[in-house]
Amino acid sequence: MRSVGIPLPGVIPLFFLNESSGHAVMHEMSIALSIVEAVEAKARDEGAGRISEIELQIGKLAGIVPESLRFCFSAAAKGTLAESASLLIEEPEGVGECGECGRKFPVSFYYAECPDCRSLRIVIVSGEEFRIQTITIEEEGE
């Protein structure tokens, strides 16, 4: 068994309109399908027989609901090398940095006010992450 770190190129969250509520909703199924496609391609390149673990980093400001992604992943992975893989999700907190005074502070939304100088010139420096950190594979015959 070994861990292989891979990038996640081209995974773009898709939105759709929930007709019953009228709200825009993140479409985690398309994200789950993209994750399965990326990790399966890398695992096959490495000669894997199966993927046993996938470690993701999904920031709290990324707009992805981890529990919804887990549910969708289990369906998306059926019949693939990732079917029995466990999904580990690290969720970095949101951090903003003030463009006026330079203070870094926790944020839970994209629009925030600096707690020191009250400036609204805030840049998000953490919490938007969305990447595959590592996959753990088992080679054919293991």
Q: How does residue 1 score in pLDDT terms, banded at 50, 70 and 90? A: low
Task: Please check whether residues 16 and 83 belong to one and the same domain.
Answer: yes
Task: Please check whether residues 105 and 56 belong to one and the same domain.
Answer: no
* This prediction's pTM: 0.76
Task: Please check whether residues 52 and 73 belong to one and the same domain.
Answer: yes
Task: Please check whether residues 80 and 103 belong to one and the same domain.
Answer: no
Q: Domain count for the chain, please give it.
A: 2
Q: How does residue 3 score in pLDDT terms, banded at 50, 70 and 90? A: low
Nearest Cα to Cα of residue 135 among 12, 19, 20, 45: 45
Task: Please check whether residues 82 and 103 belong to one and the same domain.
Answer: no
Task: Please check whether residues 103 and 88 belong to one and the same domain.
Answer: no
Task: Please check whether residues 44 and 111 belong to one and the same domain.
Answer: no
Task: Please check whether residues 53 and 8 belong to one and the same domain.
Answer: yes
Q: How far is residue 90 from each of residues 4, 13, 62, 95, measured CA to CA in Å? A: 17, 18, 12, 15
Task: Please check whether residues 56 and 99 belong to one and the same domain.
Answer: no
Task: Please check whether residues 111 and 132 belong to one and the same domain.
Answer: no
CATH number (domain holding residue 67):
3.30.2320.50
Task: Please check whether residues 7 and 31 belong to one and the same domain.
Answer: yes
Write out pLDDT tens, residues 28-66. 888 999 999 999 999 999 999 999 999 999 999 998 989
DSSP of 27-60, one letter per residue? -HHHHHHHHHHHHHHHHHHTTEEEEEEEEEEE-T
Write out the residue range of the structural domain in which residue 115 sits: 93-126
Task: Please check whether residues 83 and 116 belong to one and the same domain.
Answer: no
